[in-house]
Amino acid sequence: MKTTDTDTVYLTGLGKVIKAYEEIAATRMRVIRSGVVKNREFTGQLNQIFCLVKNSYIKETQKYQVQMLRQKNGRIARIFFSTNTGLYGDIIQRIFNLYASDLKDASSDAIIIGRLGKGLFESYYKGKKYTYFEIADKEVSLDQIANIVEFLAPYESVYVYHGLFKNILMQEAVCTNISGDSLPAPEEKVPTRKLIFEPLLTKTLRFFETEIFSGLLVHVVFESQLAKFSSRMASLEQASENIQKERILAIMQSSLLKKRSMNKKQLEMMAGSRLWGV
């Protein structure tokens, strides 16, 4: 009976811990959602200005694009965006499955973000070359983003494999193209204007491409975090329900054992009374 009571106390405490983790995950999700919206607006406005410049100086931008293409290495960067810790459900494994199916291309270079992804990659690909970056699960610094952007600059195409938030119960494993000029042009007609550039048009275009690329990468980071924390919430909620069921079962078992103990004592008392003729 002591063991059953101990189990009940343990399960009650564990349930409180799980609930606390759920609240933390919910708080982080709200913060990340706000970041997703703000970054999406910023990147969209930046892209509108970029399209305005390209539309106003078509010939010049075409020459610039040809020049930039020659500076690329002709390879594809495929980034597996994972985590440093667990408790995120099966979303990381599903992302890796999608990543592994596309990494077969000989022109692709493997790039891993997160310790959990590093472990998965090394266990699946024995001795395969890859580049590793580490980004904090909670907060991402601009220095970390800048280092990754600098590393990816020579690549002709960049694809990120990450989680995408659909709703609290559904997160998808997706692949997103974040190459420098991957954003679509605005639906409304972009006007042509005479603009003054300081110092040069080519440097201005390069700045826009870099900023848009960085914005897209940050957006993917936010989307990935949102999916991971929603997956964690779903996993914790399921764990909380299982713990509650086990707790109820433990309470019922404890109650049953107490009743049996009381019945046994009553029978012993009755037997004693008969023995002494009471």
Q: Which residues pair with 108 in a beta bridge?
A: 76
- At 189 the pLDDT is 56
Q: In what order do the strands lie in the sheet with 157-167?
A: 131-133, 108-113, 76-81, 157-167, 170-177
Question: What is the reported pTM?
Answer: 0.68
Q: Could you give the 3-state DSSP secondary structure of residue 129?
A: coil
- Residue 53 in contact with residue 185, Cβ under 8 Å? no
- pLDDT of 124 reads 92
Helix H, strand E, coil C: the string for 145-207 is HHHHHHHHCCCCEEEEEEEEEEECCEEEEEEEECCCCCCCCCCCCCCCCCCCCCCCHHHHHHH
pLDDT along the chain (278 residues), means of 10: 60 68 71 72 70 63 60 87 83 93 89 94 92 85 87 88 81 82 54 61 73 81 80 69 71 72 69 56
Specify whether the CB–CB gap between 228 and 113 falls below 8 A: no
Has domain 20-236 been given CATH number 2.30.30.790? no
Instruction: Read off the DSSP letter of residue 106.
Output: T
Which pLDDT value is given to residue 238? Answer: 67
pLDDT digits (tens, 9 = 90+) for 113-131: 999 999 999 999 988 999 9
Residue 276 in 3-state DSSP?
coil
pLDDT tens digits, 42-68: 766 776 776 666 666 666 666 656 566
